[in-house]
Amino acid sequence: DAGVIQSPRHEVTEMGQEVTLRCKPISGHNSLFWYRQTMMRGLELLIYFNNNVPIDDSGMPEDRFSAKMPNASFSTLKIQPSEPRDSAVYFCASSQSHRDGYTFGSGTRLTVV
Amino acid sequence: SQQGEEDPQALSIQEGENATMNCSYKTSINNLQWYRQNSGRGLVHLILIRSNEREKHSGRLRVTLDTSKKSSSLLITASRAADTASYFCATEAGNMLTFGGGTRLMVKP
């Protein structure tokens, strides 16, 4: 298995533009998580899905952020419109129930200028 | 919000020495996990210890959990320069994993 795959690896965009981050979880994993990492706030859970259904989105900063999981092999995190304070590394992770921990992707480094 | 808090925030040791990192948390948990992150990379799962376990080993790693004190420790024995990374504890409750701020470990050759 290639692991959790995120794209793009890097994204530079202008303030006000729409940004879409993509994630392909490990096949067979039934939970998917989106995290954001910054120096100031560390790793924050934004939203997680179980069996493609959003379970907890209380970490989503505001209405500019939305996430979808249309099927078991794909999820997106969208920011519209983007702002400079959204600059961070966004990680996707997947897991299979409560076994063996989470598998993280390599992250998307987002810079909003 | 961060559930776990690591101590120390940074640790510098010589190759061959042991490295100990501590983690404290606030609420009841299902399990506690330790992750490693190399600079610019994603997090890698190291070890998971369940709430009814007290100690677990994996290679050069030893993890302890004291639920009465709501604390855990990660010991890396015979450290190597390649162990240089940030180490995070994470607590799982209700299928949600909450991370601490991490310990930056530097192992000097």
pLDDT at A62: 86
pLDDT in tens, chain B (109 residues): 446 688 899 999 999 999 999 999 998 999 999 999 999 889 999 999 999 999 999 999 999 999 999 999 999 999 999 999 999 999 998 778 899 999 999 999 9
For A45, nearest residue in chain B (alpha carbons): B98
Question: A101 and B45: CB-CB below 8 Å?
Answer: yes
Interface with B, mutate which of A60, A102, A103, A109 (most B CBs under 10 A) = A102
How many whole angstroms separate alpha carbon A42 and alpha carbon B24? 16
Which residues from A are below 8 Å from B when comparing CB atoms?
4, 31, 33, 35, 42-43, 45, 48, 50, 55-56, 91, 93, 98, 100-107
Local confidence band at A1 (pLDDT 50, 70, 90 cut-offs): low
- Which of A56, A98, A104 lies nearest to residue B43, judging by beta carbons? A104
Q: Which residues, in sequence order, are bridge partners of residue A108? A: A90
pLDDT at B95: 76
CA-wise closest residue to B94 among B21, B27, B13, B6: B27
- Return left, alpha or beta for A3; rule: phi > 0 is left, psi -120 to 50 is alpha, else beta: left
B43 to chain A: nearest residue by CA? Answer: A104
pLDDT tens figures, A45-99: 999 999 999 999 999 988 999 999 999 999 999 999 999 999 999 999 999 876 6
Q: Which among B41, B96, B99 has the least Cβ separation from residue A106?
A: B41
Find, in chain A, the residue whose alpha carbon is nearest to that of B91.
A101
Residue of B nearest to A39 (CA): B101
Could you identify the residue written with the tokens 């302890």? Answer: B64
**Residue B93 to residues A93, A109, A112, B3, B70, Cα–Cα distance (Å):** 16, 28, 33, 10, 14
